[in-house]
Amino acid sequence: MIRHGESEDNIQRIFSRDDTSLTEKGIMQIKDTKELLKKFSYDKVYYSSLRRTVETLENLELEGTEDLRIREINFGIFTGKTFEEISRIYPNETKLWLDDTQNYIIPKGESILGVYSRISEFLEEISRQDENILLITHDCVIRLALSWIFDNPDYFFRFKVDNGSINIISIDEGYKYIKKLNYN
């Protein structure tokens, strides 16, 4: 799994929009990742349809299959705003979200548990294939995929995933494990 390079929204520290682009630093991160990726073999590539992951795919000079299940969490009414802004504009929703981050469905968006469900479905599906799969995706998706190893979304906040990093999970004879984290 490769997290997209640094985006404009990452710099602004806002809940990401679908159309945010990679920064120059983000493009350089992906060029470095491209070199590291030569050490690995993979049979298929899946990518999120959001602009920053499409730009990552292009900078890696790869082609793949778009899959909506590996899109970033939909932040709904929080999208495009900083934490300070959502706290001021949506104090009640922010409190409800902070009180139950996993289960709270952000208005016009998703909950972490909802995203975990769609990502788990995707991972279960591709794990039945006898192939190495490359995903170009997002922070939340990778953190939830790492949590899937433990069959427990509660591990979500125990991972940090760097922009442009390669993260590897493996399924071997029915056992799931983390092989590499933040390789960059």
Domains of the chain with bracketed CATH: 2-14+22-74+112-183 (3.40.50.1240)
The two beta strands, 2-3 and 44-47, are unpaired
Full-model pTM: 0.96
Q: Alpha helix (H) ranges present in 63-138?
A: 83-89, 91-99, 112-127
Residues annotated within the binding site are 3-10, 52
pLDDT less than 70: residues of the chain? none
- The predicted structure's pLDDT at residue 174: 83
What pLDDT score does 147 carry? 98
Write down the pLDDT at residue 74. Answer: 97
Euclidean distance between CA atoms 182 and 171, whole angstroms:
19
Pick out the residues of the known binding site for substrate: 3-10, 52
- The rounded mean pLDDT for the chain is 97
